[in-house]
Amino acid sequence: MSYQKSYYDKDYDKQSFKDCYKSNKHYENCVEEVLEAILEAQNKVKENHDCCKSSCKDSIDELLHEKKPPKKNTIPFILYCGCEPFKGTGVTTYSCHSKKKKFKCVESFIFKIKDLDKGCAVLELLTFKTDHKYHESDGKHEGKDLHSVCSQIDHKCVSDLVETGICINVDLSCFCAISCLPPVHFKKC
């Protein structure tokens, strides 16, 4: 894994991003390069403790340049297939009052990079605490159907974003864009 120094370091300029799209030809590694930079930044935090107000460059810089000791350790992000945000789906199990294990389907537009290898990535689905509330009266979990990124994140507290432990493997050549959220802190498992 090699960090593309010119891609997100201080000498970054708008042309660097445009280079991914030279001559109207799509280069498949743009999303991979950003994910690689995010993973590198997250790993540095683990080891060492422009106009955009919300960009991947800003999120990476914020994670790497946080005052010591670093508190934030993850850059959540959204991926896009064509013009649509990618919604990941995974399954976990839970036990309720009957002590029988039940399946729970989890959907999310928000991810954390866990691993990256040869154009493939392991992504963890991230959700919000409020999406996991259980109502004893009807035996149902709270959480609305996710129709859009905004339906998942609007009016939610940043600190309520949680890891699910549900990971999916994806082929990065399927994605054409990435949008980074501000860095957050997750407790170690």
Provide the pLDDT for residue 35. 87
Domain assignment present for 56:
yes
Q: Is the pLDDT of residue 166 over 80?
A: yes
Domain assignment present for 136:
yes
- Please compute the mean of the pLDDT values over residues 160-167 and round it to a whole number: 94
Domain assignment present for 17:
no
Provide the pLDDT for residue 67. 73
Higher-scoring residue by pLDDT: 48, 107:
107
Helix (H) or strand (E) holding 25: none
Mean pLDDT of the residues in the chain: 78
C-alpha distances in Å from residue 24, one per residue of 18, 19, 21, 27, 63? 10, 10, 6, 9, 32
- Please compute the mean of the pLDDT values over residues 133-149 and round it to a whole number: 58
The total number of structural domains in the chain stands at 1
Domain assignment present for 11:
no
Cα gap 180→160, rounded to integer Å: 17
C-alpha distances in Å from residue 165, one per residue of 18, 90, 101, 124, 186? 35, 10, 17, 6, 12
Provide the pLDDT for residue 53. 65
Domain assignment present for 29:
yes
Helix (H) or strand (E) holding 102: strand 101-108
Contacts of 154 (CB under 8 A, 6+ apart): none
Cα gap 52→58, rounded to integer Å: 8
Domain assignment present for 145:
yes
Domain assignment present for 14:
no
pLDDT digits (tens, 9 = 90+) for 4-54: 443 444 333 344 444 444 434 444 567 888 888 888 888 888 754 435 667
pLDDT digits (tens, 9 = 90+) for 43-85: 888 754 435 667 888 889 888 887 777 688 999 999 999 889 9
Strands 134-135, 101-108: pairing is: unpaired
Does the pTM exceed 0.75? no
Provide the pLDDT for residue 171. 95
Q: Which of 22-26, 28-32, 132-136, 156-160 has the highest mean pLDDT?
A: 156-160
Cα gap 99→89, rounded to integer Å: 25
Cα gap 134→151, rounded to integer Å: 20
Domain extent at residue 71: 25-180
Domain assignment present for 112:
yes
Cα Rg of the chain (Å, integer): 18
Provide the pLDDT for residue 130. 82
Q: Is the pLDDT of residue 144 over 70?
A: no
Q: Let me know: does 69 contact 89? Beta carbons within 8 Å.
A: no
